[in-house]
Structure 1
Amino acid sequence: MATTTSASTPKKVSSETQTIDSLDALLKTNNIFLFIPNIIGYIRVFLSIASFYFMPTHPKITIFCYLTSEFLDALDGHAARALGQSTKFGAMFDMLIDRCSTMCLCFVLAMFYPKWALFFQLWAAIDVASHWLHLHAATVKGSESHKKIDLSGNPILRLYYTSRKVLFTMCAGNELWFSMVYMLHFGEGPAILTIGKYALGLWRVILYAVTPIMVGKQIISLIHLYTASLDMAALDEAERAKTAKAK
C-alpha cells in the first residue's frame, strides 16, 4: 500500500518583513558605502544632478530638487550621530556635495547675470578653497571631521560648528540667497509687500531677508581660509623643527 507524504508549504515572507530585514541589515553593515548617512548622500547627488539638468528652463523643478538636497544635508548629520555611523568618508562626501552643488548653481547664475559673473566666480572660488584647506588641515591633525578640529583659538568658528542652530541658519540662509537670485531670473514671485508704487515679490523679500546671512557666511569662509592656513603653517613649522632636531 503506497503511503503519501504531505509536503510542507514554505511560508511566504511578506514585503513588510523583507523591508524590515533589509533596513536591519543596513544598520548592522560594516560597509562604509552602505551606511545610512552615505545613502542619503547618494540621494542628494541624484537630486543635485536633476536640478542642474532643469536649471536653464524649469525653475520650479530645479528649486524643489536643489532645496530638498540641501535639506537632506541636515538629515544625514543627524542620522550619522544617531546611528553611530560618522565616518571620515561621510564627512568628506557631505562637504563635497555642498561645495559642488553651490558651485554649479553659481555657474548658471553667472550666465543669467553676466555683469555679476565675477562675484559668483570669486564666491565659488573662496567657498571651495576655504573648505578644502580647512578639511585638509583637520585631516592632517587627525580629526575625523572638519567640524571636530580644535576651534579653541577662534570663537567665531567655535560658535559656527558647535551650535547646530547657528550652523543650520547660516547654511540654510546662504542657500536660500542663491536660490532666490536664481528664481528672480524668471520673475518676482507672488506679490506680498507693497511700498508706494512698488510691489515686492516673495523671492525678492526672501532675498533681502537672508542677504546678511549670505554675507556672514562669506566672512566665515574667509576666516576658514585664514585659520586653516595658520594651522598648516604651524604643522610645517613643527615638522621642520622635528627634522632639524633629529639632525
Structure 2
Amino acid sequence: MHLLYVFLTNGSFVLFIFISFVCDGVDGWCARKFNQVSTFGAVLDMVTDRISTACLLVILSQVYRPGMVFLSLLALDIASHWLQMYSTFLLGKVSHKDVKDSTNWLFKAYYGNRMFMAYCCVACEVLYITLFLLVQNDSEKLMDVLKSSITEGSPISVLVGLSVFGWAIKQLVNVIQMKTAADICVLHDINRKGEAVIIPVPLPHQT
C-alpha cells in the first residue's frame, strides 16, 4: 500500500480520477441522448462508481488517523447503494433513481435534480482527492489537516469548504437511502409471509 501511495503522488492518480469523472458524465449523457439506457448499464455504472470511491477511501484510511472513519464511509456507501438497487428490483422499477414516491424531501431532491446530485457526487470525490493531495506524511491526523486547510485562506480552503458541504449532504442521503431501502426489503418479506399463511375458515355448525 505504501508503494502504491508513493507511485500515485506523482499526479497520475489525480489525472486518472479526473478522466474517470469526465467519462462517467459523458457515457450517462450519451446513453440518455441516444436512448441506449439499459439495466446492465445502470448496474455497471453504479459498480464502477463504487469501485473508484472504494479505492480512494482505502488509500485515505492508510495515510490518515483515524483510518476507521474512511472505512466506515466505505461501508455506508456500499451498503446504501446495494440496498437501494435491490429494493428497486423488488418494487419493479427500472432505475434506482426513481424515488418519486418517497416521502423524504431531501431524498427526492437529490435524485430528482441531476445538477444537485452531480454537485454532491463531485464534491465528495473532490474532497477525497484534496485530502489525498494534502497529505504530507503517513498517519496524518484528519481533523488537523481539515482545520489547517480551511483556515489558511488559500483557494484550497474554498475548495475544501464547498466540498465538505456537498459531501455532508451525500452522506446524509446515503443514510436515508439505506434506511428507506431496508424498510422496503423488510416489508417485502412481511408481505410474502402474509401471503403464504392460509387462514382456516370454520365451517358453520349444522343444526
Same fold (TM over 0.5): yes
Q: Which of 120, 135, 141 is the matching residue for 1:185?
A: 135
Question: Does the residue aligned with 2:7 lie in a helix, a strand or coil?
Answer: coil
Post-superposition offset of 1:202: 3.9
Q: TM-score under structure 1 normalisation?
A: 0.68
Which residue in 2 is equivalent to 1:110? 61
Contact 1:110 1:116 in 2 (8 A): yes
Query: Residue 127 of structure 2 contacts residue 164 of structure 2 at CA under 8 Å; is this kept in 1?
Result: yes
User: Residues 49-78 of structure 1: CA distance to partner in whole angstroms, max 9, x if unpaired?
Assistant: xxxx96533332111111220232222221
CA distance in 2, matches of 1:69, 1:230: 33
| SS of the residue 2:45 aligns to | helix
Deviation per residue, 1:122-142 (Å, 9 max, x gap):
000001000110111001221
TM-score (ref. length: structure 2)? 0.81
Which digits, 9 at most, give the CA deviation of each residue in 1:155-211, with x for residues without a partner? 221111111111111111111110100111159xxxxxxxxxx85444444122211
1:127 aligned onto 2:80: no
Q: Is the 8 A contact 2:88 2:95 kept in 1?
A: yes
**Hey, what's the Cα distance between the residues in 2 that align with 1:56 and 1:246?**
67
Partner of 2:143: none
Question: Which runs of 5 or more structure 2 residues have no equivalent in the other structure?
Answer: 138-150, 201-207
Q: Which of 35, 38, 51 does residue 87 from structure 1 map onto?
A: 38
Higher relative contact order structure (alpha carbons within 8 Å, sequence separation ≥ 6): 2
Aligned to 1:241: 194
Provide the rounded CA distance (Å) in 2 between the counterparts of 1:73 and 1:87: 15
How far apart, in 2, do the equivalents of 1:176 and 1:72 lie?
16
The structure that has the greater radius of gyration is 1
For residues 98-123 of structure 1, give each alpha carbon's deviation from its aligned partner in whole angstroms, at most 9, with x where no partner exists: 1111111111111111x120100100
**CA offset at residue 246 of structure 1?**
8.0
| Among 164, 172, 181, the residue aligned to 1:228 | 181
Do structure 1's residue 65 and structure 2's residue 16 form an aligned pair?
yes
Distance in 1 (CA, whole Å) between partners of 2:101 and 2:55 is 30
